Structure 1
Amino acid sequence: MRCKILIATDFSKAAASAADYALQMACLCRMNLAIVHIYSVVLPMVADGTMIFQDSLYDLAEADSLERLSALAAKLNLDADRLCGDGFKPFIEIFSAIGVPAAGIKSFFNRKDMGMIVMGIKPEERYAETLPGSTIRKLIKWASVPVLLVPMDFPPVPLRQIVFTSDFADSEIIALDFLAGIASAYHSDLLIFHNRISMEKGRLFLLKEKKFLDKVAQEIDYPKVFYRHKQKDTLEEALSVMEKNSEADMLAMVHKKHSIIGELFGGDKTLRMISRTQVPMIIFPQSFADIPGPARLGQNQLHD
């Protein structure tokens, strides 16, 4: 079975942008789509002595969820006729479940044929570089597959350059292989970017840099891979310059685990980047390199 992109939706405007973006990626990368909505039931306040048939409330909530999912799937199917042309057209499935969003979504991406999660970033999750919403934060921690976050109203434009932020870790090679598959489908550049901090200098840094880039050259079978480093005070500052200069159509990074205290006091680079990114951002779990088989969604799965 072909790996799927899992679209997590709450039917918001941000989720609609994410669904449109995911559809274009599915057409180009030859992947199927699954749309999931996790709904909840709010029990109304009633006067004493009034009877509530709770089961009927659950039935109504489920019926509403499925109706809206069906409408979204129908819209994406129509759009696919235009976007995909005579080529591959993704098969679209819908799933509805009751529960807490992050936990419910987790149950779906644990299925072996789910290769990526796509979600929208709402404006309120980007105020003054505050922490993103709890669902996004939890999924980044729990996910065993990459999470692609799309800013609201971001159009599904063709990718010209994917920028991957690197610390020269061996585990990043698998993430780069995944990105090379996407870049190949879009015929885009894949730029490996390192923000060189003040302590990185001299021969030791050059040796570390060369060792990593040699490994990339050996293991990533894609001709349009490039490398650049800058020296800025923070990674956010360095990437902001690239975004403003229209050098990045998508950002990518491996999420490094942090403590709750580190998150609250701004120690998590991933969360800080989510709160300020102007372009779609794909986040790889730190354990991604340890995941075997289809869940890793290597280049072969993208072009099978």
Structure 2
Amino acid sequence: MYKILIATDFSRAAASAADYALRMACSCGMNLSIIHIYSVGLPMVAEGTMFSQDSLYDLAEKDSLERLSLLEAKLNQDADQLCNDSSKPLIEVFSTIGVPAAGIKSFFNQKDMGMIVMGIKPEERYLGTLPGSTIRKLIKWTSVPVLLVPMNFPPVPIQQIVFATDFGDSDITALGFLAQIASAYHSDLLIFHNRISAEKGGQFLQKEKKFLDKVAQAIDYPKVFYRHKQKDTLEEALAVLDKNAEADMLAMVHKKHSMIEELFGGDKTLRMISRTRVPLIIFPQSFATSPGPARLGERQVHN
């Protein structure tokens, strides 16, 4: 995991996400790539004024690159203050025309990114409101984790990461990824399970033990803990941790749902995005870490 892709639209939410990603890059030994996907609308012009399609494309690209250059300069300046010389990330910027979700997906597939970072806008956190279409599409399409940062969230050091598990096999790989982040911050990694009413007695204890045994075999990090609670929903259970300020970051695996389930609120991931007050990492169900120098602290040097 040596590159973070920051997807920006230059909003305040995107700025918060970029600041957060920079500090993570400094702590974890990762480089940064920033992408802006721009589009060309139809301008309001005076009668008789002519604009060629090519000139509209040129103007949109010029504006995108200028704003990216300003963002790059700001992050480099901040990195000089925040990072040691050895931990200062390399920062690249890219601009391309297209539809945001598809453009971001195409880009991270080409550039071998380890994680995508985006901001959560206020309208995507109101109770019952589904996240924007770009976020919804990305968490379905992506093969890498997506880190969503609430607007104006302070980039504080991570002391505890809370991972919500249902004891699925894909959770083990996600926990390995999170253990690398936790190790960089020397933070706790809390595995959290919301025990539903159907999970009872010896059968539940056996399932729980089997999962935790797999975790112990797969993850070599001493500050991994486990807790379960029993609430009506996962959101209520995690809200207890949030209220008690026990989590600096939440994480979960996105399990596939039908369109009907999404429309009627059956997708736990979308509900968590609209409610979270701390950064949330969402892993695809088929997540697998990339081979090679994809571990924290093994920053790739650009040629």
Q: Which bracket does the TM-score occupy, shorter chain normalised?
A: over 0.9
Aligned match of 2:169: 170
Aligned match of 1:293: 291
Q: Within the alignment, does 1:239 sit opposite 2:250 as a pair?
A: no
- Please list, as runs of the form range in 1=range in 2, the aligned pairs for 1:246-261 lying within 5 A after superposition: 246-261=245-260
TM-align CA RMSD:
1.4
Looking at structure 1, the residues matched to 82 and 177 of structure 2 have their Cα atoms a distance apart, in angstroms, of 23
Aligned match of 2:82: 83
Aligned match of 1:303: 297
Aligned match of 2:212: 213
CA offset digits 1:255-295 (Å, max 9, x no partner): 00101110000000000000000000000001103x64259
Deviation at 1:253, TM superposition (A): 0.2
Deviation at 1:45, TM superposition (A): 4.1
2:296 is aligned with what amino acid? L
CA offset digits 1:204-259 (Å, max 9, x no partner): 10000001101111110100000000000100000001001000000000000101
1:147 is aligned with what amino acid? V
- Please list, as runs of the form range in 1=range in 2, the aligned pairs for 1:120-139 lying within 5 A after superposition: 120-139=119-138
Looking at structure 1, the residues matched to 67 and 290 of structure 2 have their Cα atoms a distance apart, in angstroms, of 35
2:123 touches 2:129 (CA, 8 Å); kept in 1? no
Deviation at 1:155, TM superposition (A): 1.0
Aligned match of 1:155: 154
Please say which of residues 244-253 and 84-93 is displaced more in the overlay: 84-93
Please say which of residues 112-121 and 267-276 is displaced more in the overlay: 112-121
CA offset digits 1:144-196 (Å, max 9, x no partner): 10000000000110001000000111111110000000000011000000000
Deviation at 1:48, TM superposition (A): 6.2
1:303 is aligned with what amino acid? G
2:101 is aligned with what amino acid? A
Aligned match of 2:108: 109
The percentage of aligned residue pairs carrying the same residue is 80
Looking at structure 2, the residues matched to 209 and 86 of structure 1 have their Cα atoms a distance apart, in angstroms, of 44
1:113 touches 1:294 (CA, 8 Å); kept in 2? no
2:159 is aligned with what amino acid? R
Aligned match of 2:265: 266
Looking at structure 2, the residues matched to 226 and 78 of structure 1 have their Cα atoms a distance apart, in angstroms, of 37
1:282 is aligned with what amino acid? I
Looking at structure 2, the residues matched to 283 and 73 of structure 1 have their Cα atoms a distance apart, in angstroms, of 26
1:3 touches 1:294 (CA, 8 Å); kept in 2? no
1:3 touches 1:113 (CA, 8 Å); kept in 2? no
1:232 is aligned with what amino acid? K
> Alpha carbons of 1:11 and 1:65: their partners in 2 closer, same or farther (altered >3 Å)?
same
Deviation at 1:129, TM superposition (A): 2.4
Looking at structure 1, the residues matched to 290 and 127 of structure 2 have their Cα atoms a distance apart, in angstroms, of 38
Deviation at 1:86, TM superposition (A): 3.5
Deviation at 1:126, TM superposition (A): 1.5
Runs (5+) with no aligned partner, structure 2: 299-303
Aligned match of 1:54: 53
2:3 touches 2:114 (CA, 8 Å); kept in 1? yes
Question: May I ask how many residue pairs the two structures share in their alignment?
Answer: 298
> Alpha carbons of 1:221 and 1:44: their partners in 2 closer, same or farther (altered >3 Å)?
same
> Alpha carbons of 1:294 and 1:256: their partners in 2 closer, same or farther (altered >3 Å)?
farther
1:120 touches 1:151 (CA, 8 Å); kept in 2? yes
Looking at structure 2, the residues matched to 279 and 254 of structure 1 have their Cα atoms a distance apart, in angstroms, of 16
CA offset digits 1:52-83 (Å, max 9, x no partner): 22211110110110010011011000111111
SS of 1:129's equivalent in the other structure is coil
Aligned match of 1:32: 31
Deviation at 1:49, TM superposition (A): 5.1
Looking at structure 1, the residues matched to 111 and 52 of structure 2 have their Cα atoms a distance apart, in angstroms, of 38
Looking at structure 1, the residues matched to 126 and 7 of structure 2 have their Cα atoms a distance apart, in angstroms, of 22
Deviation at 1:47, TM superposition (A): 6.1
SS of 1:275's equivalent in the other structure is helix
Looking at structure 2, the residues matched to 49 and 15 of structure 1 have their Cα atoms a distance apart, in angstroms, of 38
Aligned match of 1:3: 2
Aligned match of 1:191: 190
2:164 touches 2:193 (CA, 8 Å); kept in 1? yes
> Alpha carbons of 1:10 and 1:112: their partners in 2 closer, same or farther (altered >3 Å)?
closer
1:33 touches 1:92 (CA, 8 Å); kept in 2? yes
SS of 2:275's equivalent in the other structure is coil
2:297 is aligned with what amino acid? H
Looking at structure 1, the residues matched to 218 and 140 of structure 2 have their Cα atoms a distance apart, in angstroms, of 27
